[in-house]
Amino acid sequence: MHNSSFPCSAVRGFFRLSAVVGALCLGCIGQAWAHAQPETQSPGAGAVVNAPQEVRITYDEALEPAFCSLIVRDARGKQVNSAKAEVDPITHQTMHVALPALPPGVYQVKWVAVADDGHRTQGSYKFTVK
């Protein structure tokens, strides 16, 4: 009778390799489902500030500039920014829009961010000019 450990070691090796490949695939899927989320906002949500010259949002992923937007509206719902939002050409993670001189009041920021992987997120928040 010949006793060989080859079949057992080969099977163990196969399962180890399968586990590593599976873990790598799950990591890739997690990245594929990731969406750009704001990391910092200026002015921030709920902030009470002097009239800002711009609204600036930095995201945790690179953005696709052609599909992103940033709109600021006053308390009556009128859009106050006439300029189109711009994405930083170097980092591709910061979107900003210039503002005119804003009178005191509550303003709502609505943003749409499309990550360079094509996933879209959106949100809104308010700040107050004193």
Q: How much is the pTM?
A: 0.75
DSSP-derived secondary structure letter, 29: H
Q: Is the backbone peptide bond immediately before 38 cis, with ω within 30 degrees of 0?
A: no
Per-residue CA distances from 14 to 27, 33, 121 (Å): 20, 29, 40
- The pLDDT of residue 116 is 87
Whether CATH 2.60.40.1220 fits 38-129: yes
| Residue 55 pLDDT > 60 | yes
The mean pLDDT of 43-72, rounded to a whole number, is 98
Start-end ranges of CATH 2.60.40.1220 in the chain? 38-129
The mean pLDDT of 111-118, rounded to a whole number, is 94
| Residue 23 pLDDT > 60 | no
pLDDT digits (tens, 9 = 90+) for 72-102: 999 999 999 999 999 999 999 999 999 999 9
Picking from 49, 57, 28, the residue whose alpha carbon sits closest to that of residue 121 is 57
